[in-house]
Amino acid sequence: METTTKGLKLADILTTIVIAIVFGVIYKLWGPLYSAVGVLGFHLDQLIYGMWFIASSLAYLLIRKPGVALLAEIAASSGELVMGSQWGLEVLIYGVVQGLFAEIVFAVFRYRRFDTFVVSLGAVGATVGSLIMDFYKGYIEALAPWNMALFLLARFIGAVLISGVFAVSLAKAIEKTGVTQMWRPASKDDYDALNR
Amino acid sequence: MKWEVRCRETWLHETNPSLKLIVLVVLFFAVLFIHNPNVLINVSLALFVLFCFGTGYPANVLFWLFLPFFLVFVSTASSMMMFGEGTTTWVRWGLIHITAESFWRGVHIGFRALALGLLGLIFSLTTRPVHLFYSLMQQLKLKPKYAYSFLAAVRLLPIMLEEFQTIRYALKVRGVPNKGGLSKVKRYAIPLLSQSIRRAQRIAVAMEAKRFSGSGRRTFYYEIGFGKYDVLFVALFAALMFVAYYAGVHYPYISISDVR
C-alpha cells in the first residue's frame, strides 16, 4: 500500500508518540518531585534524574525499530513542554540531545539486542547527552571535585536503575499482555502451533 | 495548552508558531553563552515583563505558573553557591563553602534557569498546539504522518486520564492496598500503556485508510502564514537582546563581567 517501505510506518510513529505522551505526563510530574528531593541536598535528586530517559528505552524495547528512541524522547519532552514544564524550552532541547545519544548506542548494536545491558548502555548514553547540556548551562565543572563526583555517580546509577533495569521489567510485563504481538512477525512457535 | 484558563488573545498569539519556536530556540542558545551576569539579569527582567504583560493571562494565574520557576531559581542557585569552587571565602561551615566566585556564579545560573524557563513559558502560553503542528507542516515541511500522530496522541490524553480513574476504582473495589513504590507504578503503568498501544494501533489503521501516511500533496484546514506581528516579534527580540547587552556592559549592577 505504501511505496515507501523504508523508515517508520504511521502505526509505529503513532504508537511511539502515544507511549511517549504517557511518559510526557510522568516527566511533567517528575519535575516537582525532583525539586522536592533536591532540597535534601547532596545531589540525591540526581538519583531520580534517570526517569527522564525512560521513554526512549521503553519505545526501543517495545517497537524495536531504528529512530523510535529519538522520536520517543522528543515527543515526551515536547509533551512536557506543552504542559508547561518548570524548565521551559530547555526540556525540548535536552530531550533531543538525550534521545540522540540513546539512539546512537542502539545503532551501535545495530538494533539487534534488546537486553538489560544494551538498554542500560542506552540510558548511560542519554545521561552523557544530558551532561553535555549541563556542562554549558550549569557550569558543573566548577563544582568542588568531591561534589561533582557525587553528582555524576548519582546520575549514572539512577539512569541505569530506572531507564535500564526498570524499563526492561516494565517492557517484559507489557509484552505479556500481548499488545506487542500486533507488530511482531509470527515466530517459529506460532508456525509449530499450526502444524500440530 | 491551558484549556480551562480563559485568556485574552494578545499579539503573541498571532505570530507564526514555527517562527516563534525558531526565535526562542536561538535565544535559548544565546542565553547559554552569556557569561556576564549583568546582561543575563537584564534579559531575565525583560522576559519577565513580556511574560507579565504580553501573554494575556490574569495575574493570579501568572503567579501560580511562575512559582515553580522561582523554586528552580532558588534550588539551582543555592547548590552552586554552597558547593562551587572559588578563592575569596565568605563563609565556611562544614562542607558548605561559600565564596564570592561561587556566589555570583550561583546567582548567574539561577537567572539563567529563570530566563530559559520564561522562554518556554511564553511559548507554551501563547501557542495553540494545533496551530503549532499545522505551522510545522506548512513552514518547516514536517511530514504529515508525524504531525497528525502528535495531534492524535494529544487527543488521547483525556481518555487516558479517565482510564487512570477507572483503574484506581477497580483496584480499590478489589481491596488492593494503595502502597508500594515501583510495584504501584507498574500496577498503573501496564494497563494504561497496553490499552494505549491497542488504541494507537486501531487509530493508525484508520489513519492509514484515510491516507494520512501518504507523501503526496495535502491541503490544510488551517492555513498559517506570516503577518505584521512576525516582523514585530523578531524586531522586539533583536532590540531586547541588544539593549540588554548594551546596558549590561555599560551600566553594570555588579563589577563581575564573567562568572567562569
pLDDT tens digits, one per residue of B69-79: 888 788 778 87
Lowest mean pLDDT of A33-42, B139-148, B185-194, name the range. Answer: A33-42
- The answer to whether residue B214 sits within a structural domain is no
Q: How confident is the model at residue A3 (pLDDT cuts 50, 70, 90)?
A: very low
When pLDDT is averaged across residues A162-169 and rounded to a whole number, the result is 92
- A170 in contact with B, Cβ within 8 Å: yes
Which chain A residue shows the shortest CA-CA distance from B148? A14
* pLDDT value for A186: 62
Kindly state whether residues B111 and B235 are assigned to the same domain: yes
pLDDT score at A1:
39
Query: Does A195 contact B at CB distance below 8 Å?
Result: no
Task: Tell me the residues of chain B between 129 and 148 that have a Cβ less than 8 Å away from chain A.
Answer: 129, 145-146
Write B162-167 long-range contacts (CB < 8 A, 24+). Answer: B163/B191, B163/B192, B163/B195, B164/B188, B164/B192, B167/B191, B167/B192
Inter-chain residue contact A137 with B112, CB threshold 8 Å: yes
Are B78 and B166 in a shared domain?
Answer: no
pLDDT at B240 over 70: yes
Block residue for cell numbers 518547516: B140
Chain B residues whose CB is inside 8 A of the A32 CB are 68
B189 located within any domain: yes
Q: Do A90 and B203 touch (CB under 8 A)?
A: no
* DSSP-based three-state secondary structure for B96: strand
* Partner B, chain A 7-36, Cβ-Cβ below 8 Å: 9-11, 13-15, 17-22, 25, 31-32, 35
Say yes or no to pLDDT of A108 above 50.
yes
Residues B105 and B75 placed together within one structural domain of the fold: yes
Residue B99 pLDDT: 80
| B10 interface with A at CB cutoff 8 Å | no
pLDDT value, residue A43: 80
pLDDT of A107 strictly over 90: yes
Residue pair B113/B72 in contact by the 8 Å Cβ criterion: yes
Average pLDDT over residues A45-74: 91
Q: Does the distance separating the beta carbons of A166 and B109 come in below 8 Å?
A: no
Residue ranges making up the domain that contains B17 = 11-132+226-250
Mean predicted lDDT score pLDDT of chain A: 85
B105–A139 CB contact, under 8 Å? yes
Chain B contact set for A174 (CB, 8 A): 190, 193-194, 197
Residue B39 and residue B116 in one domain = yes
Same domain, B154 and B122: no
Q: Is B206 exposed, middle or buried (0-12, 13-18, 19+ CB in 10 A)?
A: exposed
A34, three cell numbers? 525532583
Residue A188 has pLDDT above 70, yes or no: no
Total count of domains within chain B: 2
Kindly state whether A93 is in contact with chain B, defined as any CB-CB distance less than 8 angstroms: yes
Question: For B35-143, where are the alpha helices, taking DSSP H only?
Answer: 37-54, 59-83, 100-126, 129-139
CB atoms within 10 A of CB A189: 8
Residue A188's CB is within 10 A of a number of other CB atoms, namely 7
Interface of A with B in 117-136 (CB under 8 A): 136
CB–CB of B207 and A10 under 8 A? yes
pLDDT at B6 over 70: no
Does some domain include residue B158? yes
* Contact criterion met (CB < 8 Å) for A13 and B146: yes
Query: Which is nearest to B221 in space by CA: B158, B149, B148, B153?
Result: B148
Continuous segment of H or E residues that includes residue B97: strand B96-99
Query: Is residue B1, in this structure, part of any structural domain at all?
Result: no
CB-closest option in A13, A18, A170 to B196: A18
Same structural domain for residues B18 and B103?
yes
| pLDDT value of position B180 | 65
CB pairs under 8 A between A and B: 179
CB atoms within 10 A of CB A186: 10
Of B204, B215, B260, the CB nearest to A11: B204
Report, as an integer, the average pLDDT of A129-143. 79
Quick check: is B259 in a domain?
no
- Amino acid B239: pLDDT: 92
Same domain for B171 and B42, yes or no, is: no
Alpha-carbon distance of B224 to B15, in angstroms, equals: 10
- How many Å apart are CA B162 and CA B160, to the nearest integer? 5
Query: Residue B107's closest chain A neighbor by CA?
Result: A138
**B201 → chain A, closest CA residue:** A11
> Which one, of A32, A159, A99, A58, lies nearest residue B196 by Cα?
A58
Whether A1 contacts chain B with CB within 8 A? yes
Most confidently predicted of B162-171, B173-182, B251-260: B162-171
CB-closest option in A20, A22, A90 to B160: A22
Is B5 part of any domain?
Answer: no
A6 contact B CB<8A: no
Instruction: Give the pLDDT of residue B5.
Output: 57
> What is the per-residue pLDDT across B167-202, written as a single tens digit (0 to 9) for each?
989 998 998 877 766 777 788 888 989 999 999 999
The verdict on ipTM greater than 0.85 is: no
> In the structure, what pLDDT confidence band is assigned to residue B11 with cuts at 50, 70 and 90?
confident
Determine the average pLDDT of the residues in B214-227: 84
Nearest CA in chain B to A170: B186
Q: Mean pLDDT throughout A137-151?
A: 77
Q: What are phi and psi of A143, to 5 degrees?
A: -70, 155
Query: Closest chain B residue to A91 measured between Cα atoms?
Result: B120
Domain identity same for B118 and B61 = yes
State the Cα–Cα distance between residues B201 and B205, nearest whole angstrom.
Answer: 6
Per-residue confidence band for A73, with pLDDT thresholds at 50, 70 and 90:
very high
For residue B2, what pLDDT is reported? 47
Q: What is the per-residue pLDDT across B67-105, written as a single tens digit (0 to 9) for each?
A: 888 887 887 788 777 777 777 777 777 777 778 888 888
Residue in chain B lying closest to A82 (CA): B124
Of all helices (H) and strands (E), which one includes residue A132? helix A116-138
- Assigned domain for B149 exists: yes
Q: Please write the tens of the pLDDT for every residue from B20-45.
A: 999 988 998 888 888 888 888 899 99
Chain mean pLDDT for chain B: 84
Q: Which of A84-88, A170-174, B70-74, B107-111 has the lowest mean pLDDT?
A: A84-88
Determine, yes or no, domain membership for B124: yes
pLDDT at A120 over 80: yes
